Amino acid sequence: MRLAGKGRHTGGPVGFWFNGTHYNGIGGDTLASALLANGVTTMGWTPTQHRPLGVMTAGVDEVHARVNIGKGDAKRLNVNAATLPIYDGLVAHSIVSNAGIKSFTSFLSPLMAKAPELPPENGAQQDFELISDRAWAFCDVLVIGAGPAGLMAALTAAEAGADVLVVDADTDFGGRLLSDAEHIESQSAHLWAQSTVERLAGMDNVRMMLRTSVQDVQDQGVYTAVERLHDDPRIAHRQTMWRIVAKGSVLCTGSYERPILFPNNDRPGIMLASAMRSYLHRYGVAPGKRLTVFANNDAAHQTAHDFADAGVHIAAIIDPRKGVQAGDIPVYHGAVTNTAGRNVLKSITVTHAKGQRDIVTDCLAVSGGWNPALSVSGQFGAAPEWHAETHSFCPAAGSVPGMVAAGAARGVFDTFGCLQDGVLSANEVLVDIGLDMPDITAPSAQETPYSLHPLWLVEEKGPKWGGPKGDLSFDEIEPKHRKEILADPRLSGVETTWSDDEDVARALLTAMPTPFGAETVQPDAVDIGPDAQAPIRTLPSNDACAALGAPLGRYGDWLRPSYLPFEGEDTPLAACAREVAMVRSAVGVSDVSYQTMIDVQGADAAVFLDFVCATTVSETQTRRIHPTLLLNEDGTLMDSANITRLDEAHFVVRATTASDADMMRHLDFAAQVLCPDLDVQLANITESSARFVVAGPLTRDLVNKVIDAPINDVLLPYLGARKASIGGTACRLARVSSTGEYACEIAVSVAFGEKLFVYLARAAASLEGGVFGADAANVLRIEKGILAARDMGGIVTPYDLGIARQMDASKDYIGRARVLRPDLNDARRAQLVGLKGVPNAGPLPASGVLYVRGGDRSPETVQGRVTSTCHSPSRGREIGLGFLTQGRARYGDKLVMVDPQTGTEADVDAGYHVFYDHKGEVPRG
C-alpha cells in the first residue's frame, strides 16, 4: 500500500493493465512498485509447480517479476517489472515459463548452467529487441553508475577539467541515495544527489546519460552501452547502442544484496532488505503491514528502523549474531527455518537459542550482505579477489586497463566511504591520463562499519529455492554439482579464509550473484538483441522499380527488384518465367549498377593486372573487353571478371560476383603489399555510374532506338566497348553478356540513371520486351552455366571448372604457385556439371548433396554437391549446377540429389553445365 508523505517521485496518475485488471500508479513508479502500491503481491508463477512468486528486488537483478508487455505485433517479452517504468496504456502479463531461466542459471553459475533443463511452457521466448540506432561518444573519463561514488568521481574529474561522460542505467541519478534515508552534509542524501547532478549538468565539460547501461568493455577503452529511449513496444525506436571511447573510466556500478537461503524462501512478501527500503523511500510503498527482518549484518537493521518510523509494525528481527539488540524491537538470535502462506506470506518459523516459534508477518526483509557488481570488471578474464573482511568477491585492481572501481563496486559499503572512494578513484584515473588532481574532498556522511556474520544457508530440511522461475531447490542441485564447482579452473586463483572447500562451495552457491563476471550479472541482458540490419544500398532504378510494384529483396548489401509483376500473374515463378522468355525471344532491360567496377590507372596498370589475373591482360587492345580469372594465393578461384581497356594505361575491372569491398581489398593488397613499386592507382567506381544491361535478340534495335548515332557489330563487336551519347548525354557501351543472349551494357553518370532506366523500359515495352529482375537474371545465368558467388565458395579451382587452359603459366600471378600443384589438378576432384531434373518430378531443392541413384547413402558415398537450381523456362524442366567427382567423365550418370537439411530428394541426370546455346554463338551476334 502507498504510505502518505513517503516517496520521492512526483509524477501524475498513470493507468496500466496487469493480467487483465486495470490499476493506477504514479509517474516514476516501476511496474513492481505500482503493483505493490495496489496490494498486488503475486507477479509470476514457477513453471512446473505453479507456486506464486512476488518481486524480490528493486533493480536489474530481479528474476521473479518478469512480464510480457504490449499486445499483438507490438510486444516485448520477459521484461523486468522491477525496472520497467509504468506508462499510460501499459499492458503487462506475468509469464509462466522458463523464459527467465537464463538469468536464473547466471545467478548460480556455473552450477546452474549444468542443472536439468526445465520444460518450456507458454511464452518461452527471449525478447530479442532490435538495436535501432547506433552512436559513438568520446570522452576523457567515463563514469559508469551515478551513485555516491559515481557522483563524487564525476565531480572530481569535472573539476580537473576532464571531458566527463556519466552514464547510469536507472531512470534517475543517485543510485542507493534515492532509496535510503541517510544524510550528506546535513542534507537528505537524495537531495544532495539532486543538487550534485544539477551542478554537474551545469558544467560544459560534463555530459550525463540516464537509462544507459554499460554492457561490455573492449580493448583500448571502448565501452558498449545501450540507452533505452522508450519502453512502449508500440514505439519502433526504443534503444540506441553507444560505443563510448574513453581514456579512463571509473566503475561505480554498486553492489547487489544477497539473500539467505532457507526453506520456502520464495513466497510473495519475501524481499531483499534493500529492495524493501527502495519501495519505502523512493516509491512510498509498504509491501505489508507486519514486517520481519532476517539479516546477518547491521545495515539491514536500518530497514526495521525506517519502516518503524513510517508507522509499519515491526514484528521481529532475526539475526544470527549473538548480542545484537535493536531497541524496542524483539530480536531473535537464530534463523528463519520455514515460512507459510501461498499468494502472500502469512507467517515465518524462527529457530533460536531458546527454541522455535512462529511469527505472524506478511513481509520478510532478507539480507545476507552485499556482493559488488562484477559484470564489467570481469570482462577481461581477471579473477576477482576474495575480501575476507566483507566476505565478498571484489574486482582485482587492474582487471581492465584504464578502469578503476570505486565505492560499493569494490567492496566499500558505507556512504562516506563511497563518496571518498569516488574522489580517490577519479584522482587515480586523472593521474593516469595526465591531468592534475583537483582540490576536492568528500562531504561528510554516514560512516557505518560493515559487520557481517557469514550465514547464507540455513541448515534445515525443506525446499530452499535456489533461484527464481525454477522448481529446483538448493538441496536438489547442490550435491550433484559441488565437485564440478570446485573443479572450476576459475576458482583456482581465488584465495579465501574459509576452512575448507565445502565452505567455499557453499558460499558460492548461496552468495548470489557469484563472482563470475559477465556470466553473473546481466543488466537487462534479455532486453538486448541483435543489431538492426546493416545499411542497404539502393540501385539508381530503385524508386522506379518500386513504383512498378516490384518486390525488393536483399542481395548482398544491395536492394534489387526480384521481378516486375504483370497484372494477373499470381506467382513470382510465373513472373520470372515470363521475364526469362521475354529476354530469350525479344529484349529485356535490367539494372546492373550493383556489379563491382574498379578503375585501374597508371603507367604500370597493365603489368599490375597481369600479376593480379591468371590470364594475360596486357595483350588486350584498347576499347576491347578481356574476360579473366582472379585467383587467391592458395590457388582457389577468387572471382572471374571482365576487364575493359579504355586506354594504354587505363582499365576498368568488372567483377562477376565479388562485392566491391572484397575486390577493392584484394586489389589494394596486391598494389600496396605485393607490388608496392608499381605505378598503379585504384578507385572503386561502382557507385559513380548507373549501368543497365540490354539483352535479347532485339538488343540492337533497342540500343539504336535510344542512342544518338546508331551502332552495328562492326562499330561495336562482341567484347567491344565504345563511347556514345543519349540525347547529348555521354554514355559508354559494352558488349558483355551474363545471360547467354546478345547483350549490350549502357553506362551513364549516376545522376541520369533513373531517367535512362524509365526511357529504356518504355523503349523495351514497344518491342514486346520489358524490365527483368534478379530472379530472372539468376535463371538466365544458370541456363547459361555461369557461376554465382554461392557456387564458388572459395574452394573451386579453374581446373574444376574446366577452364585451366585460360591461365597463362608463362608469367607470375597471384595463385600461380599453388594452382599448379598436382592435388588441385587431380581428375578425382569434384568438377562442374549441369544437372537436369527428371521430367515432371517437381522442383529441385535449392541445394544439396549428390549420391548414385539407387546406391548407398553415407558420408563416404557422397558424389558431389549441388549449388544452384532453378526451373528453366527455356528448357521446360528443372536444372541445376553442381560439382561432381570426376564430373566431366560422367555426363549421363543417374544421380539423386538430397537436401540434408530437409531430407527432400530429387532424381537428377549429370551433363554439360551449359543448358542454353552450347556453342556460345548467340552473344556474338
Chain residues in the site for other proteins (CB under 8 A): 136, 218-222, 243, 245, 380, 401, 633-634, 661, 664-665, 668-669, 672-674, 676, 682, 812, 816-818, 821
**Residue whose C-alpha cell is 506508462:** 87
Are the beta carbons of 477 and 105 closer than 8 angstroms? no
- Return the bridge partners of 868, or none: 881
CB nearer to other proteins: give 121 or 633.
Answer: 633
Residues 499, 500, 502, 507: is their CA dihedral positive or negative?
A: positive
* Least distance CB 264 / other proteins (angstroms): 48
| Alpha-carbon gap, residue 21 to 19, rounded angstroms | 6
CB nearer to other proteins: give 243 or 890.
Answer: 243
* Least distance CB 235 / other proteins (angstroms): 28
* Least distance CB 762 / other proteins (angstroms): 39
* Least distance CB 401 / other proteins (angstroms): 8
- What end-to-end distance do the CA atoms of the chain give, in Å? 88
- Return the bridge partners of 642, or none: 627, 654
| Alpha-carbon gap, residue 108 to 219, rounded angstroms | 28
Give CA separation, 132 vs 223, 228, 238, 254, 723, in Å. 18, 11, 7, 29, 45
Are the beta carbons of 288 and 363 closer than 8 angstroms? yes
* Least distance CB 165 / other proteins (angstroms): 17
* Least distance CB 244 / other proteins (angstroms): 11
| Alpha-carbon gap, residue 538 to 591, rounded angstroms | 11
CB nearer to other proteins: give 459 or 677.
Answer: 677
Are the beta carbons of 909 and 835 closer than 8 angstroms? yes
* Least distance CB 667 / other proteins (angstroms): 9
- DSSP H or E stretch at residue 61: none
| Alpha-carbon gap, residue 547 to 891, rounded angstroms | 46
CB nearer to other proteins: give 569 or 633.
Answer: 633
Residues 693-703, buried b or exposed e (16+ Cβ, 10 A)? bbbbbbbbbbb
Q: What is the 3-state secondary structure (H, E, C) of 201-241?
A: HCCCCEEEECCEEEEEEECCCEEEEEEECCCCCCCCCCEEE
CB nearer to other proteins: give 536 or 817.
Answer: 817
* Least distance CB 679 / other proteins (angstroms): 13
Residue (of 81, 46, 41) closest to 61 by Cα position:
81
In the chain, the amino acid numbered 661 is: A
* Least distance CB 446 / other proteins (angstroms): 40
Q: How far is CA 422 from the centre of its chain?
A: 33
Alpha helices in 327-414 (DSSP H): none
CB nearer to other proteins: give 716 or 824.
Answer: 824
* Least distance CB 404 / other proteins (angstroms): 18
Output 643-649 pairs: Cβ under 8 A, ≥24 positions apart.
643/609, 643/613, 643/617, 644/721, 644/734, 645/617, 645/620, 645/621, 646/622, 646/721, 647/622, 648/606, 648/622, 649/601, 649/602, 649/603, 649/605, 649/606
| Alpha-carbon gap, residue 78 to 93, rounded angstroms | 10
Lay out the sheet containing 66-71: strands in order across: 21-26, 13-18, 90-94, 66-71, 74-80
Helices 474-487 & 501-510, crossing angle to 10 degrees? 120
CB nearer to other proteins: give 359 or 678.
Answer: 678
* Least distance CB 817 / other proteins (angstroms): 5
Alpha helices in 280-432 (DSSP H): 301-309, 415-432
Cis peptide before 513 (omega within 30 of 0): yes
CB nearer to other proteins: give 89 or 401.
Answer: 401
CB nearer to other proteins: give 821 or 894.
Answer: 821
CB nearer to other proteins: give 297 or 377.
Answer: 377
* Least distance CB 647 / other proteins (angstroms): 23
CB nearer to other proteins: give 12 or 676.
Answer: 676
* Least distance CB 134 / other proteins (angstroms): 10
CB nearer to other proteins: give 221 or 845.
Answer: 221
DSSP secondary structure code for residue 326 in this structure: -
Q: What is the 3-state secondary structure (H, E, C) of 637-682?
A: EEEEEEEEEEECCEEEEEECCCCHHHHHHHHHHHHHHHCCCCCCEE
Q: How far is CA 355 from the centre of its chain?
A: 55
CB nearer to other proteins: give 391 or 666.
Answer: 666
Query: C-alpha grid cell for residue 828?
Result: 578425382
Residue (of 278, 279, 276, 281) closest to 292 by Cα position:
276
CB nearer to other proteins: give 381 or 493.
Answer: 381
CB nearer to other proteins: give 183 or 816.
Answer: 816
CB nearer to other proteins: give 381 or 855.
Answer: 381
| Alpha-carbon gap, residue 169 to 61, rounded angstroms | 12
Tell me if residue 430 falls in helix, strand or coil.
Answer: helix
CB nearer to other proteins: give 188 or 684.
Answer: 684
CB nearer to other proteins: give 134 or 762.
Answer: 134
Query: C-alpha grid cell for residue 584?
Result: 530469350
Residue (of 477, 431, 444) closest to 148 by Cα position:
444
| Alpha-carbon gap, residue 18 to 267, rounded angstroms | 20
